[in-house]
Amino acid sequence: MSRTDDLQQRFQAFAGRPGRVAFAPGRINLIGEHTDYSGGFVLPASLALGTWTVAAARDDRKVRVLSEGQHETEVFALDIAPAAATKRWSDYVAGVAWALQQAGCKLRGADLLIASDVPMGSGLSSSAALEVSVAHALLAVAGASLSPLQIARVCQRAENEFVGARCGIMDQFAATHGESGRALMLDCADYSWKSAQLPAKHCWVVANTMVRHALAHGEYNVRRAESEELTAYMHRRIPQRTRLAELSIAETKELMSGLPATLASRLRHIVGENRRVHEAYAALDSGNVALLGQLLFASHGSLRTDYEVSCRELDILVDIAGAVPGVLGARMIGGGFGGCTLTLIEAQHVETLLAQLRLNYVQSTGREPATYICEFGGAGGMLA
């Protein structure tokens, strides 16, 4: 039975009538870490993993939603506001309903069944996959439509203002604009983008440290505040520049000379990482995988030393990968202080990598890393 038929059948059991099926993918960000919130560049690719939402209209103005794996069915009024957020997973769903209506969409009540194969909190963006699939489903049930960019912005707003998480636009953008087998270089300031083919004979492997250190959340907010401080400083010193991502090497050096050491290092990461996104895009476009790999290692070094968001477990995984034959590059991904790494490797060596990661990481930390070999997919939308 196809995945869609299987979901239809389970929806019939849940809601007693057939439904429409929406899908949205998770994503992997190849490079461009901690660049989005200062209006810089990122290079995500959408995955084959994703989240399905099956939906049928109701006659009242309620949304009843079951997410497989969550046990509880949640019910909320369509006319909900952020003040009614519950701090439960269903806030992501209610937030999308709220933000769609804020964007002028006339919604109908609905029964929703959600199923996903994106691991949660692993840097593969389960939250945006959920939001975008719910947005497609609610729009379909109401007979309404929005452009992919409008959907991405609505979903980001849901996460920022309803869930209360300060994410950039990247995850939602990848879920709405992904192209199969290609990476998107996105300018987070104006949403312009272009895509390049991913290398065919190489694999991208995600390895999970299985740790999340307590300082992750606080330090993320500190980095955001530092980047705002740096932007304000840049405006004062070089008024013609509108964002950190545009600074030349000479301008960066000049700015760094007037900054305390920590802020100077933060600036070096942001400017360098944006430059690496451009270089990585060019490397993809010209098929230069060796350069792509070097850029991943350089990104990790910068995140570890200048941005100071890595941790022992992430460094161990990157070091293990670096010693495996056929590995071109590796880096930490996501906010840092735990979470996952990403390794680029020649396809024929991937089994060796998985074995080495497991063996050596267990030896160093006593933990077994979860691993995932990326399979790429396209944008979200309606399947049935």
Say if residues 365 and 239 touch (Cβ distance below 8 Å): no
The reply to whether 171 belongs to the active site is yes
Q: Which of residues 337-376 bind ligand ADP (CB under 6 A)?
A: none
Give the nearer residue to ligand ADP in terms of CB position, either 110 or 350: 110
Closest CB to ligand ADP among residues 86, 248:
86
Nearest to 372 by CA among 28, 21, 17, 78: 28
Pick one of 19, 109, 123, 272: the residue that binds ligand ADP (CB under 6 A).
Answer: 123
Q: Which does 121 bind (CB under 5 to 8 A by kind): ligand ADP, Mg ion, none?
A: ligand ADP
Region for 197 from its dihedrals, namely left if φ exceeds 0, alpha if ψ lies in -120 to 50, beta otherwise: beta
Question: Segment contacting ligand ADP (CB under 6 A): 114-122, 224-232, 296-304, 317-325?
Answer: 114-122
For the window 20-59, what string marks contact with ligand ADP as x by the rule CB under 6 A?
Answer: -------------------------------x--------
Piece in contact with ligand ADP (CB under 6 A), picked from 118-126, 247-255, 318-326, 341-349: 118-126
Task: Count Cα atoms within 13 angstroms, Cβ side, for 238.
Answer: 18
| Region of 229 on the Ramachandran plot (φ > 0 left; ψ -120 to 50 alpha; else beta) | alpha
Q: Which does 51 bind (CB under 5 to 8 A by kind): ligand ADP, Mg ion, none?
A: ligand ADP
Q: Is 67 in the site for ligand ADP (CB under 6 A)?
A: yes
CA distances from 207 to 302, 330, 357, 363 (A): 19, 10, 8, 15
CB count within 10 Å of CB 107 equals 20
Stretch that binds ligand ADP, among 15-23, 124-132, 200-208, 223-231 (CB under 6 A): 124-132
Interacting span for Mg ion (CB under 5 A) from 69-77, 125-133, 327-335, 374-382: 125-133
Between 67 and 127, CB nearer to Mg ion: 127
- Give the list of residues 6+ apart from residue 17 with CB closer than 8 angstroms, or none: 56
CB of 74 within 8 A of CB of 130?
no
Shortest separation between residue 249's beta carbon and ligand ADP, angstroms: 33
Q: Is 295 helix (H, G, I), strand (E, B) or coil?
A: helix
Nearest 5°: CA angle at 333, between 243 and 264? Answer: 40
Q: Tokens 């006339």 appear where? A: 106
Dihedral pair phi/psi, residue 54, rounded to 5°: -100, 135
Based on the shown chain and the rule CB under 6 A, indicate whether residue 126 belongs to the binding site for ligand ADP.
yes
Interface with ligand ADP (CB under 6 A), residue from 70, 197, 248, 363? 70
**Closest to Mg ion by CB, 35 or 127:** 127
Q: Are 22 and 176 in contact (CB under 8 A)?
A: no
Q: Work out whether 176 is an interface residue with ligand ADP (CB under 6 A).
A: no
Using CB under 6 A, list all residues that contact ligand ADP. 51, 67, 70, 89, 92, 114, 116, 120-127, 130
Enzyme catalytic residues? 171
Using CB under 5 A, list all residues that contact Mg ion. 125, 127
